[in-house]
């Protein structure tokens, strides 16, 4: 066998076992031949460590010169362009220059080729044939999607993994040695012949190629006889994607009959090879064959390319439908009135039979789940991640794509504001207790699986909500949930798989969680919006499913051209296609040109939303009510959020329910019922985030109120934390309160529950602080202690201490004032007497207020020792006596800090952090500020405040390795560059060099804001380690 090899390859393969290497690959034994090169089983090694088994195809470097070397590189490049579980993966190109050999290292599949299997078995069962057909068709979807034509589809180029027999995953397409770029022509168009490329030779005009020095057309066009497209065989035309489909039909024919189509009746029929005659029908040769399978193979083997199925996607869909019918599952199309398009709504499991265009991504996710516990579908907003999971991956698992248990239970959740509650409620039947640790919860899930003998697929849709919605007091809920997900997904536990979907642009805070970040990265499946070519396949499959066709062939081209303008925004395309479906010709089952012209693809969604808005305004009475309802369904950062309808009614009024009804009927918002511990709750959310991007009215509303809403969101988060664990440090200071009060006044908002209690406590603390600061300022002048004022923090203990000090100073000052008055009396100095009397009056008022402050603080201390109660404000009559004077004194004499400096920095009486070199410049980054409000516009865009707050929440989940590591409050300094990224981070000195400090460092380095103009800014922020 080796005698026919190129000399360089022969010398390498004849070496002793220990020396038979090329690059990092040790050649173990020959597997066979691929084209004109031998294929060897090899072990890839690093030093003495064996990494993996590979299949290495060996070539001589001098064979074919530079063109031959380039052909090898081109084959590797083509393999790199095709990523699909049913296509072998490319590893690398090892080269041995000294021996003159180059290798093509690929994925090794333990098994035999489909050709070898057919040699042993003669024919395959209908079920196994369909599995092979689904695998090859799915692989061709990826090949053709990469702009390639394989050109050599045959049983010899399909390898079979015996361990996976019974599923399409068992079959992989190999040998891309003669694959080529796909011609731009479509089926039915005239394709340039290759005859012009064949050198002329003497002879008559009718000479065949073989008469001019070719043994057969195969030398000119490639492939194997019996599997080559008759058009290519007859005219020497270049192969197209339709040629690969013909070869696929021939493979199915061979699997069922044991002979090629041209030899279907026993002897080779040249008329079939040249396409002048159809091959025999399968029904004539195979008994008990599903009629639909025979019809499909007949269509694939049609001599004319335009009579074959339009794409490999359609072939795979039909084969899967036949496979489902064989196991007793009938195709379940949605009612024709609903149609195959979902508009802004996602595809669910019941829409699986009209979910098209995602075959490659479904196969990729299943491949991940075969070897890992978690698959993460990551992509931009509107790329179809949720639909892919719900209508593609989950049904495939239920059908047995992963093997394992016969029955799989599916649990679907979205994290919301309290992910632990949502998750434990969904898994309540498994005995999950939210009070237990994540380790115990994971063990309980595994125990339930072992006992029930069922599988579990947990789908966490919109995982980014853990970062965007679950903030403030939900920090523990976040950490618990992420810990549990990492434990469930860190390894492929039998019968347990986790699928998550997430927006890539909102994933950074979650990736900062070390374990979850590692699991997500390893199981990532990137999901991109469909391109115009893929949309063409979707349209074809969707309309054909209901028996509809285009009015004329040119109309399909016009539709695809219209799709190109919005192909990158899948929700817009789906919405426009649903409008097209609604205007179809029902009587003649046609898609007409008049229907297409009536739809403006790029503006269909915005037009529909504006019309719905007009109807909602009529129902609500004012546009402001509608605006408040829609804004309530978004986050300040511009993402969707789910809200109970009851909350909207309480906040906005009864008209909110009518507004939701109007938008629900227009399918612009979604309503669903969720079962909670306290009963069922009706929830509402925007139908899709595309509304936030492509509907101008809503987009403008969100932008105009984003900064005010960020302040309110921060206030509500602080209120929840304080309500859970009252701590004076959490109370807002005066300047924050002034900003909040202005926003509440302008927006006419009411505070309730925890927010109201937190506000009351903050106001009371602020009043105490103002009185004490003002009084101490008066006393300082009275006893000539200088012009400085004593700053008193809001903490209860320090406030008590300051009050005691102020009382002592007040009594001393009163004595001094009286002595001054007596002195003035003795000296009969009228002006001095009046000044002293005035000072005595001020001090008496101050003493009265201080006594009340002390009493209030004593009561508060007593109350905090027992049941926590709502704080009581100071006596309003006393406050009024001094308030005007103190405000005037502040206004006249005090030098106020920069606007809202307290809001971001909050560094009073806290030692500054150690800042590494380069962290220079003033701390001038301001929080989000409302337009026209009481504060100047921020230099950095408003989302900086939100992103820093998110980083603070992530940092709070950092865990100490042991008791020696620091805990408590800390400060971090970071530099925001104009490109919106963090270039440097520095922590308080006590956190430097610790593992918990490194975790905090990572959390803040993930901060990313919109680019801004100007120089880098240094930001001081706080964090807390429990």
Is the predicted pLDDT of residue 549 greater than 80, yes or no? yes
Cα-Cα-Cα-Cα torsion 199, 201, 207, 212, nearest 10 degrees, comes to -70
Nearest alpha carbon to residue 460 among 495, 489, 436 = 489
pLDDT at 870: 38
pLDDT at 499: 97
Q: Which structural domains are found in the chain, ordered by start?
A: 2-108 (3.30.200.20), 113-184+214-326 (1.10.510.10), 358-526 (3.40.50.300), 605-725 (1.10.10), 747-893 (no CATH), 901-1025 (3.30.1150)
pLDDT at 778: 52
Task: Give a three-class secondary structure readout of 247-271.
Answer: HHHHHHHHHHHCCCHHHCCCCCCHH
DSSP 136-165: HHHHHHHHHHTTEE----SGGGEEEEGGGT
Residue given tokens 């320090």 in the structure block: 798
pLDDT at 835: 58
pLDDT at 993: 85
Band (212; pLDDT cuts 50, 70, 90): very low
Q: Which residues contact 984 (CB under 8 A, 6 or more apart)?
A: 916, 918, 919, 974, 975
Say which range, 105-119, 141-155, 232-246, 553-567, has the weakest mean pLDDT.
553-567
pLDDT at 937: 32
Given CA atoms 422, 424, 425, 427 in this order, what sign does their dihedral have? positive
pLDDT at 908: 36
pLDDT at 391: 95
Band (460; pLDDT cuts 50, 70, 90): very high
Task: Determine how many CB atoms are found less than 10 A away from the CB of residue 175.
Answer: 23
Tokens, residue 35: 């084209």
Phi, psi of 2 (to 5 degrees): -75, -15
pLDDT at 177: 66
* pLDDT single digits (tens) 723-776: 888 888 888 877 778 778 877 777 767 787 888 888 888 888 877 666 665 555
Nearest alpha carbon to residue 996 among 1024, 1020, 965, 1023 = 965
Q: Which residues contact 61 (CB under 8 A, 6 or more apart)?
A: 8, 68, 69, 95, 97, 100, 101, 102
* pLDDT single digits (tens) 63-86: 666 777 777 787 778 778 888 888
Residue 888 CA to residue 753 CA, distance in Å, equals 34
Calculate mean pLDDT across residues 79-100: 87
pLDDT at 874: 41
Band (635; pLDDT cuts 50, 70, 90): confident
Is the predicted pLDDT of residue 862 greater than 70, yes or no? no
Task: Give a three-class secondary structure readout of 602-668.
Answer: HHHHHHHHHHHHHHHHHHHCCHHHHHHHHHHCECCCCCECCEEHHHHHHHHCCHHHHHHHHHHHCCC
Band (203; pLDDT cuts 50, 70, 90): very low
Residue 288 CA to residue 386 CA, distance in Å, equals 40
Task: Compute the chain's Rg from CA coordinates.
Answer: 37
Is the predicted pLDDT of residue 944 greater than 60, yes or no? yes
Q: Which residues contact 912 (CB under 8 A, 6 or more apart)?
A: 971, 1020
pLDDT cut 90: percent of the chain above it: 27
Residue 670 CA to residue 282 CA, distance in Å, equals 49
Task: Give a three-class secondary structure readout of 556-606.
Answer: HHHHHHHHHCCCCCHHHHHHHHHHHHHCCECCCCEECHHHHHCCCHHHHHH
pLDDT at 771: 63
pLDDT at 839: 57
Q: Which residues pair with 49 in a beta bridge?
A: 46
Nearest alpha carbon to residue 104 among 81, 136, 71, 82 = 71
Band (169; pLDDT cuts 50, 70, 90): confident
Calculate mean pLDDT across residues 459-469: 89
Calculate mean pLDDT across residues 181-208: 38
Phi, psi of 90 (to 5 degrees): -85, 140
Is the predicted pLDDT of residue 811 greater than 70, yes or no? no
Band (179; pLDDT cuts 50, 70, 90): low
Better-scored residue on pLDDT, 389 or 399: 389
How far does CA 149 lie from the centroid of its chain?
32
pLDDT at 185: 39
Calculate mean pLDDT across residues 277-288: 91
* pLDDT single digits (tens) 827-857: 544 555 555 555 555 555 555 555 554 555 5
pLDDT at 816: 58
Better-scored residue on pLDDT, 897 or 831: 831
CB of 268 closer than 8 Å to CB of 335? no
pLDDT at 211: 40
Q: How many residues does the chain have?
A: 1026
Say which range, 17-26, 106-115, 171-180, 993-1002, has the weakest mean pLDDT.
171-180
Calculate mean pLDDT across residues 665-690: 81
- pTM for the full predicted model: 0.59
pLDDT at 850: 53
Residue 64 CA to residue 74 CA, distance in Å, equals 14
* pLDDT single digits (tens) 488-546: 998 888 889 999 999 888 888 898 888 899 999 999 999 988 887 888 889 999 999 99
pLDDT at 62: 78
CB of 224 closer than 8 Å to CB of 154? yes
Band (187; pLDDT cuts 50, 70, 90): very low
Nearest alpha carbon to residue 886 among 973, 789, 771 = 771
Band (480; pLDDT cuts 50, 70, 90): very high
Using DSSP's 3-state secondary structure scheme, residue 742 falls into helix
Tokens, residue 939: 């230099």
Is the predicted pLDDT of residue 320 greater than 50, yes or no? yes
Residue 126 CA to residue 631 CA, distance in Å, equals 56
pLDDT at 199: 32
Mean pLDDT of all residues belonging to the chain? 78
Cα-Cα-Cα-Cα torsion 827, 830, 832, 836, nearest 10 degrees, comes to 110
* pLDDT single digits (tens) 582-609: 999 999 999 998 888 877 766 778 888 9
* pLDDT single digits (tens) 768-802: 666 665 555 555 454 443 333 333 333 444 455 55
pLDDT at 825: 55
* pLDDT single digits (tens) 636-658: 877 888 889 998 998 888 999 99
Say which range, 367-376, 687-696, 801-810, has the weakest mean pLDDT.
801-810
CB of 470 closer than 8 Å to CB of 517? no
pLDDT at 1: 43
């Amino acid at each position: 066998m080796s005698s026919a090899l190129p000399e360089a390859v022969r010398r390498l393969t004849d070496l002793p076992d220990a020396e038979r290497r090329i690059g990092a690959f040790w050649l173990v034994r020959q597997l066979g031949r691929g084209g004109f090169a031998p294929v060897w089983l090899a072990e890839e090694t690093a030093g003495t460590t064996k990494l993996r088994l590979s299949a290495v195809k060996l070539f001589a470097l001098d064979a074919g010169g530079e063109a031959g070397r380039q052909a090898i590189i081109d084959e590797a490049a083509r393999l790199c362009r095709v990523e699909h579980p049913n296509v072998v993966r490319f590893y690398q190109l090892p080269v041995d220059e000294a021996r003159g050999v180059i290798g093509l290292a690929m994925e090794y599949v333990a098994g035999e080729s489909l050709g070898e299997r057919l040699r042993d078995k003669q024919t395959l069962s209908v079920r196994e044939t369909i599995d092979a057909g689904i695998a090859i068709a799915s692989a061709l979807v990826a090949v053709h999607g990469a702009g390639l034509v394989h050109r050599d589809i045959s049983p010899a180029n399909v390898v079979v993994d015996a361990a996976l027999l019974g599923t399409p995953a068992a079959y992989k397409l190999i040998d891309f040695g003669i694959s080529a770029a796909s011609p731009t022509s479509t089926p039915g168009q005239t394709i340039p012949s290759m005859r012009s490329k064949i050198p002329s030779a003497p002879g008559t005009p009718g000479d065949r190629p073989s008469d001019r020095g070719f043994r057969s057309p195969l030398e000119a066009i490639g492939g194997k006889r019996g599997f080559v497209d008759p058009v290519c065989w007859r005219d020497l035309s270049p192969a197209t994607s339709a040629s690969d489909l013909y070869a696929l039909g021939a493979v199915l024919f061979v699997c069922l009959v044991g002979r090629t189509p041209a030899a279907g009746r026993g002897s080779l029929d040249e008329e079939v090879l040249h396409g002048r005659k159809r091959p025999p029908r399968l029904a004539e040769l195979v008994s008990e064959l599903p009629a639909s399978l025979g019809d499909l193979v007949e269509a694939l083997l049609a001599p004319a390319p335009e009579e074959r199925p339009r794409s490999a996607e359609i072939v795979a869909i039909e084969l899967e439908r036949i496979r489902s019918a064989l196991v007793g599952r009938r195709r379940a199309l949605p009612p024709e009135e609903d149609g195959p398009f979902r508009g802004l709504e996602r595809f669910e499991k019941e829409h699986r039979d009209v979910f098209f265009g995602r075959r490659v991504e479904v196969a990729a996710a299943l491949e991940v789940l075969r070897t890992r516990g978690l698959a993460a579908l990551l992509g931009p907003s509107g790329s179809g991640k949720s639909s892919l999971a719900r209508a593609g991956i989950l049904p495939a698992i239920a059908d047995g794509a992963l093997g394992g248990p016969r029955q799989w239970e599916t649990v679907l959740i979205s994290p919301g504001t309290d992910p632990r509650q949502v998750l434990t409620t969904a898994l309540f039947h498994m005995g999950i207790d939210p009070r237990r640790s994540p380790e115990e919860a994971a063990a309980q899930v595994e125990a339930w699986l072992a006992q029930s003998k069922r599988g579990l697929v947990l789908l966490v849709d919109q995982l980014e909500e853990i970062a965007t919605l679950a903030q403030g007091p939900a920090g523990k809920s976040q950490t618990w949930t992420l810990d549990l997900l990492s434990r469930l997904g860190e390894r492929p536990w039998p019968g347990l798989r986790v699928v998550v979907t997430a927006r890539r642009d909102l994933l950074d805070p979650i990736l900062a969680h070390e374990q979850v970040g590692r699991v997500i990265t390893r199981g990532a499946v990137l999901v991109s919006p469909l391109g115009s070519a893929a949309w063409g396949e979707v349209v074809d499959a969707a309309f054909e499913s209901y028996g509809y066709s285009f009015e004329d062939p040119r109309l399909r081209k016009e539709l695809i051209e219209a799709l190109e303008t919005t192909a990158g925004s899948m929700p817009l395309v789906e919405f426009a296609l649903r409008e097209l479906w609604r205007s179809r010709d029902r009587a003649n089952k046609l898609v007409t040109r008049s229907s297409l012209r009536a739809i403006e693809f790029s503006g269909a969604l915005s037009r529909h939303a504006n019309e719905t808005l007009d109807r909602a305004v009529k129902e609500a009475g004012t546009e402001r009510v509608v605006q408040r309802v829609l804004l309530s369904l978004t986050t300040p950062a511009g993402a969707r959020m789910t809200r109970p309808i009851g909350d909207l009614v309480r906040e906005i009024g009864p008209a909110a329910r009518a507004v939701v009804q109007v938008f629900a009927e227009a399918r612009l918002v979604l309503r669903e019922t969720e079962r909670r511990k306290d009963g069922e709750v009706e929830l509402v959310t925007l139908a899709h985030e595309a509304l936030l991007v492509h509907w101008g009215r809503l987009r403008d509303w969100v932008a105009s109120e984003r900064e005010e809403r960020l302040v309110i969101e921060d206030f509500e988060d602080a209120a929840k934390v304080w309500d859970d664990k009252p701590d004076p440090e959490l109370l807002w200071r005066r300047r924050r309160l002034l900003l909040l009060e202005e926003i509440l006044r302008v927006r006419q908002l009411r505070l309730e529950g925890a927010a109201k209690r937190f506000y009351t406590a903050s106001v009371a603390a602020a009043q105490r602080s103002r009185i004490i600061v003002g009084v101490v300022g008066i006393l300082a002048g009275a006893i000539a202690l200088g012009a400085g004022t004593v700053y008193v923090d809001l903490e209860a203990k320090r406030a008590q201490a300051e009050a005691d000090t102020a009382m002592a100073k007040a009594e001393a000052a009163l004595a001094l004032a009286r002595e001054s008055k007596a002195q003035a009396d003795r000296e009969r100095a009228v002006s001095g007497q009046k000044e002293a009397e005035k000072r005595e009056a001020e001090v008496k008022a101050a003493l009265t207020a201080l006594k009340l402050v002390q009493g209030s603080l004593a009561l508060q201390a007593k109350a905090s020792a027992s049941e926590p109660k709502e704080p009581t404000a100071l006596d309003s009559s006393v406050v009024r006596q001094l308030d005007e004077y103190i405000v005037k004194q502040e206004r006249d004499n005090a030098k106020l800090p920069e606007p809202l400096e307290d809001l971001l920095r909050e560094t009073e009486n806290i030692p500054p952090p150690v800042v590494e070199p380069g962290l220079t410049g003033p701390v001038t980054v301001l929080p989000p500020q409302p337009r026209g409000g009481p504060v100047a516009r921020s230099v950095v865009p408003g989302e900086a405040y939100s992103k820093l707050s998110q980083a603070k929440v992530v940092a709070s989940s950092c865990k100490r390795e042991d008791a020696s590591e620091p805990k408590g409050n800390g400060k971090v300094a970071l530099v925001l560059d104009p490109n919106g990224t963090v270039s440097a981070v520095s922590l308080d000195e006590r956190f430097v060099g610790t593992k918990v400090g490194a975790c905090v460092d990572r959390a803040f380095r993930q901060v990313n804001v919109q680019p801004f103009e100007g120089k880098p800014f240094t930001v001081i922020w706080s964090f807390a380690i429990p």
